[in-house]
Amino acid sequence: MALTDLMVRNVKPVDKQQKLFDERGLYLLVTPAGGKWWRLKYRFGGKEKSLSMGVYPDVGLKDARERRDAARKLLANGVDPGIERKVQKAAANERTANSFETVAREWYAKHAPGWAPSHSEKVIRRLERDVFPWIGTRPIADVKAPELLAVLRRIEDRGVLETAHRALQNCGQVFRYAVATGRAERDPSGDLRGALPPWRSEHYASITEPIKVAEMLRAFDAFTGTFVVQCALRLAPLWFVRPGELRKAKWAEFDLDRAEWRYTVTKTKSEHIVPLAIQAVTTLRALHALTGNREYVFPGRDVKKPMSEAAVNAALRRMGFDTKTEITGHGFRAMARTILHEQLRFPPDVIEHQLAHKVPDALGTAYNRTRFIDQRRAMMQAWADYLDALKAGAKVVPIGIASN
């Protein structure tokens, strides 16, 4: 006699297991604890077997019968439904193990150690915020171009087109890694070329007019914030290093007697030398009296850590500078590059080496920390003298040096 919904709902547990049979091998197993399990009794290869059809009430009588019928169709085709379920489960587990997020995190873990910390943080934050919530659980081999485009459109709709382009770039890197490791057949990001509106990278805001540079330097001298931040403001134009390298400078890297700062460039992982002008050494000796017993030259509120990533830009805004349109902590590099070449007539190769840029020479050498070191030492002192003269309101005459 076939079961009914009322019978299944009202059956009570007893002190031993009960089996309430429906039709074509389906039955309800009722445990003494009150659990109700659907089972299918069938024979395959001359052996009697049992297959779970789900738990009541999550799976009702109608659904259990549909699952039974699907299993019996497999039997009719010579397939053991129990084995088929194990195969499907294994395939599902494999797809989960090869989800977009799993592969992306594996790709990230292999590449992040070679990146600058700030870059690696941006990459993983971008993936976690803008990509994983939408396709993170999808098998990477199943993600197609339209689905990826939908993810990018959500970013674009927020008005951050640059982020959308960078997310597309990162996704392409993940897909190509999946192809290389046998988890995907192709990279669908290539199909989206031209799908996003074009975006052009904007340069960091920078002041390159000598008169305005002079005004900025005088504002630095009048800064009323902490002495540590004021020193950072004074030294940032003199050194024109990347903001992260400035704020993470360590006393152990400095030799004030030799007037040198030696450190590893975060972006290229190469050794770099910054010759210290007399003005820089003077500022550092004054600052050493305050922070010389610390690891970092510019410690933050927590003296065991460097000052905040936003400290210099916050100070610039406090003095009335717009860090989006006028000057930013990274803008001192463009300021120095422009004025050293256009006003002081220093050779581009000397300037680029001091900027720690990889500029191949005729022999293919990308960067050498000691190349042009004498010219760079002279340039850094001339640059500091030039800035002092600007600040004092003097008329500065280009001096330049010849390159080797």
Joined tokens for residue 354: 């001091």
In a domain, 399, yes or no: no
51: left (phi over 0), alpha (psi -120 to 50) or beta: beta
In a domain, 356, yes or no: yes
Give the CATH number, domain containing residue 118: 1.10.150.130
Task: Of 255, 265, 246, 262, give the one whose Cα is nearest residue 306.
Answer: 246
Same domain, 217 and 139: no
Same domain, 9 and 145: no
Measured between alpha carbons, how far is 360 from 252 in angstroms, rounded to an integer? Answer: 30
Same domain, 239 and 388: yes
Q: What is the pLDDT of residue 370?
A: 72
In a domain, 137, yes or no: yes
Point out the domain boundary residue: 48, 78, 93: 93
pTM higher than 0.75, yes or no?
Answer: no
Task: Of 365, 359, 117, 327, give the one whose Cα is nearest residue 240.
Answer: 327
Same domain, 134 and 268: no
What mean pLDDT do residues 331-350 have? 92
What 3-state class would DSSP assign to 102? Answer: helix
Same domain, 245 and 111: no
Give the CATH number, domain containing residue 53: 3.30.160.390
Q: Highest mean pLDDT: which of 70-84, 215-229, 276-290?
A: 276-290
What is the number of other CB atoms lying within 10 angstroms of the CB of residue 336? Answer: 26
Q: What is the pLDDT of residue 315?
A: 92
In a domain, 402, yes or no: no
Domain hosting 167: range is 100-192
In a domain, 397, yes or no: no
Same domain, 306 and 357: yes
In a domain, 222, yes or no: yes
Q: What is the pLDDT of residue 219?
A: 92
Confidence tier at 95 by pLDDT (50, 70, 90):
low
pLDDT at 364 over 50: no
What mean pLDDT do residues 24-34 have? 94
Give the CATH number, domain containing residue 275: 1.10.443.10
Q: What is the pLDDT of residues 212-263, one digit of tens each?
A: 999 999 999 999 899 999 999 999 999 999 999 999 999 999 999 999 999 9
Order of strands across the sheet that contains 260-264: 254-255, 260-264, 271-275
Same domain, 75 and 130: no
Q: What is the pLDDT of residue 269?
A: 77
pLDDT at 377 over 90: yes
Report how many domains make up the chain.
3
Q: What is the pLDDT of residue 94?
A: 67
Same domain, 352 and 217: yes
Confidence tier at 356 by pLDDT (50, 70, 90):
confident
% of the chain beyond a pLDDT of 90: 72
Q: Which positions are annotated as active-site residues? A: 242, 267, 330, 333, 357, 367
Same domain, 174 and 287: no
Same domain, 87 and 106: no
Query: Residue 55 in contact with residue 37, Cβ under 8 Å?
Result: yes
Same domain, 112 and 45: no
Flag the least confident range among 131-140, 232-241, 296-305, 359-368: 359-368
Q: What is the pLDDT of residue 403?
A: 44
Phi, then psi, of 152 in degrees rounded to 5:
-70, -35
pLDDT at 196 over 60: yes
Q: What is the pLDDT of residue 42?
A: 95
Joined tokens for residue 335: 């300021």
Point out the domain boundary residue: 61, 93, 125: 93
Confidence tier at 98 by pLDDT (50, 70, 90):
confident
Q: What is the pLDDT of residue 7?
A: 93
In a domain, 205, yes or no: no
pLDDT at 67 over 80: yes
What is the number of other CB atoms lying within 10 angstroms of the CB of residue 261? Answer: 23
Flag the least confident range among 171-175, 370-374, 381-385: 370-374
In a domain, 203, yes or no: no
Q: What is the pLDDT of residue 359?
A: 61
Same domain, 157 and 223: no
